[in-house]
């Protein structure tokens, strides 16, 4: 292998590694970003449990409501 081919091969490997790292960090930040609104938190909670019918969705909604109120208990003014 010539030195030019080795250099090109090394650059390709480095580019691939950098792309993998960028993709990893992008997925990490996306995964750990918290929803900003009650509605988006509720939607994420329901979707994460993979409901198969309306009754399950309603159950998950009530369950989330109880957990949300418990977690954010305080006086509403």
Does this model's pTM top 0.75? My answer is no
Query: Is residue 27 located within the same domain as residue 44?
Result: no
Q: How many helical (H) and strand (E) elements, i.e. helices and strands, does the chain have? A: 3, 0
Q: How many domains does the chain have?
A: 2
70 and 56 in a single domain? The answer is: yes
Q: Which two tokens stand for residue 46?
A: 């329901």
Q: What is the mean pLDDT of residues 51-68?
A: 93
68 Cβ neighbours under 8 A, 6+ residues apart:
38, 41, 42
| Residue whose C-alpha is closest to residue 35's, from 62, 64, 55 | 64
Q: Could you tell me if 25 and 41 lie in one domain?
A: no
Per-residue pLDDT tens for 42-52?
A: 998 999 999 99
What backbone torsions phi and psi does residue 12 show, to the nearest 5 degrees?
-65, -45
Q: Would the pLDDT of 75 be above 60?
A: no
Condensed to tens digits (0 to 9), the pLDDT of residues 15-40 reads 888 888 888 877 777 766 665 788 88
Predicted local confidence at residue 26, as pLDDT: 76
Question: 63 is in which domain, residue-wise?
Answer: 37-77
Spatial separation of the C-alpha atoms in residues 51 and 42, rounded to whole Å:
13
């Amino acid at each position: 292998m010539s030195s030019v081919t080795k250099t090109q091969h090394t650059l390709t490997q480095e580019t691939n590694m950098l792309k993998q790292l960028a993709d990893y960090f992008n997925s990490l930040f996306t995964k750990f970003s918290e929803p900003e609104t009650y509605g988006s938190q509720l939607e994420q909670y329901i979707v994460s449990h993979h409901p198969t019918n309306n009754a399950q969705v309603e159950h998950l909604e009530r369950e989330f409501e109880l957990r949300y109120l418990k977690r954010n208990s305080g006086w509403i003014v």
